[in-house]
C-alpha cells in the first residue's frame, strides 16, 4: 500500500513538473513572438516618423533625434529595470513553480 502511494506521488510530481515546464515554454514562445512583432512595429513607425520629421529638418537630424529618444528610453529602462522586469519575472516564476 505504501509503495503504491509513493509510486503515485512520484508520478504526480513528474506530471506536475512537466505541466510547469510546458507552461513556461508556452509563455516564453508567446512573449518571443510578441516582442518580435513589437520590434517590427517600432522599426516601421520609427522610419515613418523620421520620414515625417525630414520634411522640417535634414533627414540625418531626424534619425539622430529618434536615436536620442531611444537612448533616453533605454536609460530609463536601465534605471527602473528591477521594478519593470526583475520583480514581475520573479513573482511570475515563483507563482508558477510553487503553485500546487
Other beta carbons within 10 angstroms of residue 24's beta carbon come to 14
Rounded to whole angstroms, the Cα distance separating 93 from 67 reads 34
pLDDT digits (tens, 9 = 90+) for 17-42: 898 889 889 999 999 999 999 999 99
Question: Rounded to two decimals, what is the model's pTM?
Answer: 0.70
CA distances from 54 to 47, 62, 87 (A): 10, 6, 40
Q: Give me the residue spans of the domains in the chain.
A: 2-98
pLDDT digits (tens, 9 = 90+) for 37-69: 999 999 999 999 999 999 999 999 999 999 999
Amino acid at each position: 500500500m505504501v509503495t503504491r502511494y509513493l509510486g503515485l506521488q512520484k508520478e504526480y510530481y513528474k506530471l506536475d513538473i512537466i505541466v510547469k515546464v510546458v507552461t513556461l515554454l508556452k509563455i516564453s514562445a508567446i512573449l518571443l513572438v510578441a516582442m518580435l512583432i513589437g520590434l517590427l512595429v517600432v522599426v516601421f513607425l520609427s522610419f515613418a516618423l523620421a520620414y515625417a520629421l525630414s520634411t522640417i529638418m535634414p533627414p540625418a537630424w531626424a534619425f539622430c533625434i529618434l536615436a536620442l529618444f531611444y537612448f533616453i528610453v533605454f536609460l530609463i529602462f536601465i534605471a527602473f529595470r528591477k521594478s519593470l522586469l526583475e520583480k514581475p519575472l520573479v513573482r511570475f516564476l515563483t507563482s508558477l513553480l510553487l503553485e500546487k
